[in-house]
A = this chain, B = another copy of it.
Amino acid sequence: MGNINIRALAKELNLSISTVSKALKDSYEISVETKKRVLALATELNYSPNPYASSLRRKKSNTIAVVVPEVADSFFSLAIKGIEEIAQEKGYHVLVYLTYENYIKEKKILEEFKNGRVDGLLISVTSETTDSAHISDADLNNIPIVLFDRVIEELEMAKITTNDFESSYAATRHLLDGGCINIFYLSISKCLGINNKRIEGFIQALSDRNIKFDDSNIVNCSNDINDNEHLLTALLTQNNKPDGIIAGVEKLITPVYSICKQLHIKIPEDLKIASFSNSPVAHILNPSLTTITQPAFEMGKMAATILFKAIEKKGYTIKSENAVLRSTLFIRESTAPAATGLCPSFDLF
């Protein structure tokens, strides 16, 4: 009934509590005979140890926390999947927290980790997060932390990222090669480091080709769908019309495509589009979408793997671990050069 504990087993078997405890842990101190008896009764009575008693005593929760801005997004879903897979292998439990791109929420959530609730933390910060004191705080409590994807540069902690500058550069270059001369970058946040790197890659590619541009070529989108629709409609109807777009985040593709359809803007003839995206359906979109695809699942796995290195080896520091994985540019129809038909999709790198 759940209320069967180690004491009940001990009583039933005429053994001491500690003997039972050790037997259940398969301790070498206990005779094979006794172990058998204990195990038999345990399974018979459907005994299951109370994890919190154990956590309290051992100061170990066997639980990790994953804090992400969003889950209904291919990147984060895949990352969580990677994390969960490793955690399951290691016998750990995974607490998932969503921040909804809200810094206050993120801060409040991290408060919960200063007290032994989790043995480690994996986090990808919100687009509002500039201050990182809340993360340092968690660090001060000696819980190992791995930042992934949306990291904070200044923090001296383990970081798993992708080659954002290079992949953004490559995508921009690809649009330029296709004949674009007025490309706009759709950004999600002014403060996100990862976003800035992507923007830098974008700008560098333009500079390298001596294409003129200014701040207005960077469009700051919001987290609100309606706002974005207005913003994007304005962008696509303004005088200085874009002939190319790089979307810094997957969720902007739906409104962009919809608006183009509405306004009869032809992709890729009138407008070429590439997006950072992990959507599995990019290649069956109309037209199929050129994407910069991050190895989300692998990032999750790697982040978790590094975290467990710190958790398992006490005192071992992972603070300088700094993996940069490579994204892949999948070239598809949405960026096909003029007068060409269907491009087969392929991996650029």
Residues of chain B within 8 A (CB-CB) of A80 are 71, 96
Decide if A280 is an interface residue (CB 8 Å cutoff): yes
Cβ B77 vs Cβ A72 within 8 A: yes
Known: A55-B52, A284-B285. A72 touches B74 (CB 8 A): yes
Residues of chain B within 8 A (CB-CB) of A61 are 52
Residues of chain B within 8 A (CB-CB) of A94 are 95-97
Decide if A15 is an interface residue (CB 8 Å cutoff): no
Residues of chain B within 8 A (CB-CB) of A287 are 286
Residues of chain B within 8 A (CB-CB) of A115 are 2, 48-51
User: In the complex, which residue of chain B has the Cβ closest to the Cβ of A333?
Assistant: B286
Q: Mark A27-60, 1 if CB is under 8 A from B, else 0.
A: 0000000000000000000101111110110000
Decide if A84 is an interface residue (CB 8 Å cutoff): yes
**Distance in Å from the Cβ of A195 to the closest Cβ of chain B?**
21
Residues of chain B within 8 A (CB-CB) of A257 are 281, 284
A63 to B115, CA, bound (A): 16
For chain A, what secondary structure do more than half of its interface residues adopt (helix, strand, loop), or is it mixed? mixed
A52 to B61, CA, bound (A): 8
Decide if A117 is an interface residue (CB 8 Å cutoff): yes
Residues of chain B within 8 A (CB-CB) of A105 are 88
Decide if A114 is an interface residue (CB 8 Å cutoff): yes
Copies of this chain in the oligomer: 2
- Which residue in B1, B51, B56, B261 is a CB contact (below 8 Å) of A53? B56
Q: Mark A57-91, 1 if CB is under 8 A from B, else 0.
A: 00001010000001111100110110011001000
Residues of chain B within 8 A (CB-CB) of A286 are 284-288
Cβ B117 vs Cβ A51 within 8 A: yes
- Extra contacts besides A71-B77, A96-B96 (12): CB < 8 Å: A2-B114, A46-B114, A50-B56, A52-B52, A84-B98, A93-B95, A95-B95, A95-B96, A253-B284, A284-B285, A285-B286, A286-B287
Residues of A in contact with B (beta carbons under 8 Å apart):
1-2, 46, 48-53, 55-56, 61, 63, 70-74, 77-78, 80-81, 84-85, 88, 93-98, 105, 111-112, 114-117, 137, 140-142, 251, 253-254, 257-258, 261, 279-281, 283-288
25 contacts between A and B (CB under 8 A): A48-B112, A51-B117, A71-B71, A71-B77, A71-B81, A72-B74, A72-B77, A72-B81, A77-B77, A80-B96, A81-B98, A84-B98, A88-B97, A88-B105, A93-B95, A93-B97, A93-B112, A94-B95, A95-B96, A96-B96, A253-B281, A281-B281, A281-B285, A284-B286, A285-B286
